[in-house]
Chain A
């Protein structure tokens, strides 16, 4: 299950998978058991987050995805250590959590750079040049150890196609020059392509939007109007805690 830029399944010229692509289980090792909470150190705060998530559901296992999100946030990726910590708090086997983590595109079971750039390359975006933008984005981030560029399936923002999600912030429509700007903004630690962020976009429906909708940079007079969520570009500090 991989259509990403860097983590392509290695294949021979005729299309078959190169042996070892899935890292066969090490048969010499004993199966992992549920880690003992007494002897497994857990990153500060992670235990509380996971326990709070478990309390929300009738079955604690439902918290597997929220818990892995939290662990990935802390450790940068779903490392064996991160999985062990979640397993000890949730009292599940590491194998179970690894199975879950490998199923979902947003979890990474290999080390990854801290900044995620998901470039949508599905139909609507690719009709408008997403594949070219993805190539430009790969070039722009080439050699930057902090930026992970992946092609992603439809992100649900075809109205701003071609688009990308930069650390969860939707930006578009993008042109080729924006690739370099995204990397610059990430390096500078500021809001990415602020004038192209989805959160500022009005609805396209002419009977709803009072004026012509465009993608101009946030004009101080209209930004407040358009930012219907009332959250600044930095996001709601409380919500992103």
Chain B
């Protein structure tokens, strides 16, 4: 069953005539015939859960918005930066009007008059395509005052970011959209009550919003027939890493993970075996090859101690060490931490240092316990979950691959002891990066 990826490679689908020929914007017309409450009840019935990472029910999110005459905002989160995730990129590049239609319908359901798409700055090509599509839609009267003869008026602005992972976090995104540094905010108040410009704000992922036209077309109840009871519908899954056919695959939620990884993506290269995998981007705790028969849906992943997240599977085969992957993950979050909350700012950096100690042969097995305790102290102690996003996978790697890491510590120490003392940089002596001041 293809909903988002239905004939998505059709040439010119990014233009209005082709999209309209395929029945585009019919769902918007249908929605405008209904009352906003009816549209909302369809979204509620569909049970669609957010595709960005948290998996919160979209209909419930809209229902939290206050009613009445006030400036309300909708922000489409297109700052797709979770390592391993590239589904929104393909949707926006190939079928931008589907996203725009979804935004317009959602704005009607929430009685919202100002909408924004926050796209990451690196997606220059996709932003150009969206910009052209928005202009076409405005020209055709889908965006603007009293659209299609209804009482609903709506504007849509494309906002390009400038490269910061933290701006994918909803409150960091709001600050960035207000023209500030993208620092997360204290919650509550949640954005649905006080968000962009202090107004009630609905924030949804690209994939979630792009599914809305299909939900209205099919009817919420029928959409809920797809997938499992608590994870309804289809999901675009990004599979990457050590697989033969990396890419985006649209599947019904609840499909066995093995079928996704081996059947669709071709499994690891010849002669290799899966060592572990991230089921939902680099922030999700890792699973091993014993978990391959789990159904791929929100609840099964949570029950296995991980999460579906953004639906990005990263496969690591047995040619890589756990240490090497852990270091990559930790360095990423240390780089992207905005520095506002101490546990995250310090915890990510200390984790990197401890992993580097293992690599250089200075660590002892006790360091693994210290590292695990650092992760525990990050989780739940910050304004946003960036720190948790490092703590969860690192914690799971230490837990599941402890013996391998202990072997690594031992091997690295032997290597270091055997090394020529001339190669060792004494503490306190500047390394080659230390140039004349000031340096960048």
Contacts and interface: CB of A to CB of B under 8 A. Distances in A.
Interface of A: 1-3, 7-15, 18-21, 23, 56-59, 61-66, 68-69, 99-100, 103-107, 110, 118, 122-124, 126-128, 152-161, 165, 168-170, 198-199, 202-210, 213, 224-231, 235-236, 238-240
A101 to B, nearest CB: 8
Contact of A229 (B83, B129, B335): B129
B293 interface: no
B249 A205 contact: yes
Task: Report which residue of A7, A12, A59 has the largest number of chain B beta carbons within 10 angstroms of its beta carbon.
Answer: A12
B250 A69 contact: no
Contacts of B80: 156
Given A106-B121, A106-B122, A203-B247, A154 B93 contact: no
Task: Report which residue of B10, B82, B132 has the largest number of chain A beta carbons within 10 angstroms of its beta carbon.
Answer: B132
B328 A68 contact: no
A203 B90 contact: yes
Nearest to A61: B179
B246 A161 contact: yes
Contacts of B49: none
A165 B124 CA distance: 10
Interface stretch (B12-20, B57-65, B414-422): B12-20
A92 to B, nearest CB: 9
Interface in B294-328: 312, 314, 316, 320, 325, 328
Pairs A-B, 9 closest by C-beta atoms: A204-B247, A158-B240, A105-B163, A64-B179, A104-B162, A168-B124, A20-B437, A239-B128, A61-B179
Nearest to A165: B122
Task: Report which residue of A20, A64, A104, A238 has the largest number of chain B beta carbons within 10 angstroms of its beta carbon.
Answer: A104
B92 to A, nearest CB: 10
Given A61-B178, A63-B179, A205-B2, 5 more contacts: A123-B83, A158-B241, A158-B312, A204-B245, A208-B7
A228 B94 contact: yes
A224 B325 CA distance: 39
B197 interface: yes
Contacts of A236: 128, 132
A58 B201 CA distance: 14
B431 A12 contact: yes
Contacts of A123: 83-84, 241, 278, 282, 314, 325, 328-329, 332
B179 A124 contact: no
Nearest to B338: A103
Interface stretch (B40-48, B153-161, B376-384): B153-161
Interface string B73-116: 00000001111111011100110000000000000000000100
A165 B428 CA distance: 38
Nearest to A204: B247
B186 interface: no
B242 interface: yes
Contacts of A160: 246
Given A65-B162, A158-B246, A224-B11, A126 B238 contact: no
B366 interface: no
A13 B426 contact: yes
Main SS class of interface, B:
loop
Task: Report which residue of B2, B125, B180, B331 has the largest number of chain A beta carbons within 10 angstroms of its beta carbon.
Answer: B125
B336 interface: yes
B122 A235 contact: no
B240 A21 contact: no
Task: Report which residue of B14, B181, B320 has the largest number of chain A beta carbons within 10 angstroms of its beta carbon.
Answer: B181
A104 B427 contact: no
Contact of A208 (B2, B114, B157, B331): B2
Contacts of B430: 10-13, 18
Task: Report which residue of A11, A153, A225 has the largest number of chain B beta carbons within 10 angstroms of its beta carbon.
Answer: A153
Contact of A203 (B8, B332, B437): B8
B309 to A, nearest CB: 14
A18 B437 contact: yes
A240 B125 CA distance: 9
Contact of B425 (A2, A13, A63, A64): A13
B164 A208 contact: no
Contacts of B81: 153-154, 156
A152 B316 CA distance: 20
Contacts of B10: 228
24 contacts: A1-B339, A7-B440, A19-B437, A61-B180, A63-B179, A65-B159, A69-B160, A100-B179, A104-B162, A124-B314, A158-B85, A159-B86, A168-B122, A168-B125, A203-B94, A203-B247, A203-B248, A204-B246, A210-B9, A224-B11, A228-B8, A229-B14, A229-B94, A230-B12
Contacts of A20: 437-439
Contacts of B331: 3
B176 interface: yes
B160 A203 contact: no
B8 A58 contact: no
Task: Report which residue of B165, B241, B331 has the largest number of chain A beta carbons within 10 angstroms of its beta carbon.
Answer: B241
Contacts of A205: 2, 5, 247-250, 264
A160 B90 CA distance: 12
A128 to B, nearest CB: 7
A3 B335 contact: yes
Interface in B315-369: 316, 320, 325, 328-329, 331-332, 335-336, 338-339, 353
